[in-house]
Structure 1
Amino acid sequence: MEKSGRQETAHRLRGTLATVFRYAVRTFRAPLDPASARRGALLKVEVTHRPSITDEVKLG
């Protein structure tokens, strides 16, 4: 997923899987959380900040 350029989706997917595996570890259904190993391995998501419209006339 990360190789196809969908870094944000990869981060969300890792978070969801980590939640599932943490639950599995807590209920003794899995020995460890493999998603925690990928925590720092994913590329950072580039954020583009955009200015907000503060003028009510321009806003419409």
Structure 2
Amino acid sequence: MSLASHLDELSRKHSDIERQINAAMLHPSIDALEIANLKRRKLALKDEIEKLKSQPTSH
């Protein structure tokens, strides 16, 4: 998998989790712990995206 396609996939997952968080916050029956876990996953993806973007390319 190329770096660009990997970054695209991570960005898609990040957006998916953001939508899940927004939807969960609209439903009072959703556990706050579940929302916190989603936010943690979203942050981990963001960190991984930033780490990959900051790596020098070797061509």
Calculate the TM-score normalised by the size of structure 1.
Answer: 0.51
Query: Is residue 35 from structure 1 mapped to residue 38 from structure 2 by the alignment?
Result: yes
Letter paired with 2:17: R
In the alignment, the residues of structure 1 paired with residue 41 and residue 22 of structure 2 have an alpha-carbon distance, to the nearest angstrom, of: 13
Cα distance, 1:8 vs. partner? 1.4
Q: For this pair of structures, how many residues does the alignment match? A: 40
List alignment gaps of at least 5 residues for structure 2.
Answer: 54-59
Q: Percent identity?
A: 12
Greater relative contact order structure (CA < 8 Å, 6+ sep): 2
- Contact kept, 8 Å, 1:14 with 1:35, in 2: the verdict is yes
Q: Which residue in the other structure is 1:50 paired with?
A: none
- Match for 1:44 among 38, 49, 52? 49
Choose between structure 1 and 2: higher helix proportion.
Answer: 2
Calculate the TM-score normalised by the size of structure 2.
Answer: 0.51
List alignment gaps of at least 5 residues for structure 1.
Answer: 47-60
